[in-house]
Amino acid sequence: MNIVLSGVKPTGIPTLGNYLGALKNFVKLQNEMTDYEFFIFIADLHAITIPQDPKELRANIRNLAALYLACGLNKERLTLFIQSEVSAHIEMGNVMQSLSYMGELERMTQFKDKMIKNPNGVTAALFTYPALMAADILLYDAKFVPVGDDQKQHLELTRDLANRFNNRFGDTFQVPEILLTKVGARIKDLQDPSKKMSKSDDSQSKGCIYLLDPLNVIKKKIKSAVTDSEAIVRYDVENKPGISNLMTIYSAITNLSFSEIEKKYEGKGYGDFKGDLAEIVAEEIGKVQEKYNQIINSKELDEILNQGRERATQIATRKIHKIYHKLGIGRF
């Protein structure tokens, strides 16, 4: 069976941006790609490339797993697991490091950006992060990898490494293809629509909706979102970034087009529009929270993660032994 695989870092509580840009998209892909198996893992080894508080990290890992399930992924066609529980990722990461050149890793824009911002804070693991990411993907011979465009360069490196290995040691890896998450669903900060809604924001932030915010807080954040003085519901990112962002959220949840939304609110002010949007978002997130609350402390969540660990370990261990054999190391 062909595999679609993606990883998510458990840093912070996911936002409405993550939900509309990533989580909801997985559910859509799973419904569309019916003859694919889905592998989703919590990339906790990637998270520790920058300092984390262990207590928070442990909670974030569990929250994220529960939120993925709460979004409506079909458990029957899903392998959900925690990266650090499948030790072949580290083993394969080491193989990929042996295959990567310093120059290649130095060219990664994510690394370069962090180096400019805080050169003393860049760990060796942050530098080799793309080799571990290639390992995550190649271990399972994933055919498609759905990610945002910020991960495009890492995916290209993964393809280079797969081809390099295949050329040197014979056909071993499926060369994966990127499945770019459709843009358009780039949700902006509600208080400052010039920047992306991001989970690294302060948790008190009024501009960022977290999936675990109480529903009344979510409604309040939407009602106090920054707009403009024209008071006409019209999509115009350049001149009306605030209302356009709110329309993007409206459209992503209801599937109404921008012109349909404009028509619906013709002659009405922002108050009506925001009031409706607040209800729509609260209803959607409310459903996710309801399922989340059922699952977060349940045995079922551990069972799903145990099954995921077993299935992933089985595939990944077989693969790493094959690779060690090809490399001539160990006695495999």
CA distance 145 to 179: 5
User: At 210, is the secondary structure helix, strand, or coil?
Assistant: strand
- Minimum Å gap between C-beta 17 and ligand AMP is 3
Closest approach, Cβ 13 to ligand AMP, in A, equals: 10
> Total binding residues for ligand TRP by CB under 6 A?
12
- CA neighbor of 320 nearest in space, from 79, 174, 139: 139
Q: Is 199 in the site for ligand AMP (CB under 6 A)?
A: yes
- Smallest separation, CB 7 to ligand AMP (Å): 10
β-sheet with 144-147: strand ranges across: 78-82, 36-42, 2-8, 144-147, 177-180
Distance (Å, whole) CA 213 – CA 282: 10
How far apart are the two ends of the chain, measured CA to CA in Å?
A: 25
Cα separation values, 153 from 8, 106, 130, 178, Å = 17, 12, 9, 10
**Of the candidate residues 30, 151, 205, 289, the single one contacting ligand TRP (CB under 6 A):** 151
Smallest CA-to-CA distance from 88 within 321, 302, 307 is with: 321
The correct pick among 3, 4, 9, 10 for binding ligand TRP (CB under 6 A) is 9
Which of 55, 75, 112, 196 is an active site residue?
196
To the query of whether residue 206 is one of the catalytic residues in this protein, the response is no
Q: Which of positions 252-291 make contact with ligand AMP (CB under 6 A)?
A: none
**5/66 with CB nearer ligand TRP:** 5
Nearer to ligand AMP, 147 or 312 (CB): 147
For ligand AMP, the binding residues in 124-163 under the rule CB under 6 A are: 147-148
Q: Catalytic residue at 199?
A: yes
The binder of ligand TRP chosen from 133, 211, 212, 222 (CB under 6 A): 133
As measured in angstroms, the least distance from the Cβ of 83 to ligand TRP is 8
Selected from 21, 130, 176, 207, the binder of ligand AMP by CB under 6 A is 21
SS (H, E, C) 310-324: HHHHHHHHHHHHHHH
Nearest to 156 by CA among 180, 139, 140: 180
The item of ligand AMP, ligand TRP, none sharing an interface with residue 22, based on CB under 5 to 8 Å by kind, is: ligand AMP
Active site residue 274: no
| Closest distance of CB 119 from ligand AMP, Å | 22
Can you give the length of the chain in residues? 332
Catalytic residue selected from 199, 220, 264, 291? 199
Which residue intervals of the chain are DSSP H helices? 16-18, 24-32, 44-47, 54-70, 88-99, 102-106, 109-117, 124-138, 152-169, 215-223, 241-254, 258-264, 270-295, 299-327
Residues 248-307 that bind ligand TRP (CB under 6 A): none
Out of 10, 17, 93, 193, the residue judged to bind ligand AMP by CB under 6 A: 17
Binding site for ligand TRP (CB under 6 A): 5-7, 9, 43, 46, 133, 136-137, 145, 147, 151
* Residues carrying an active site annotation: 114, 196, 199
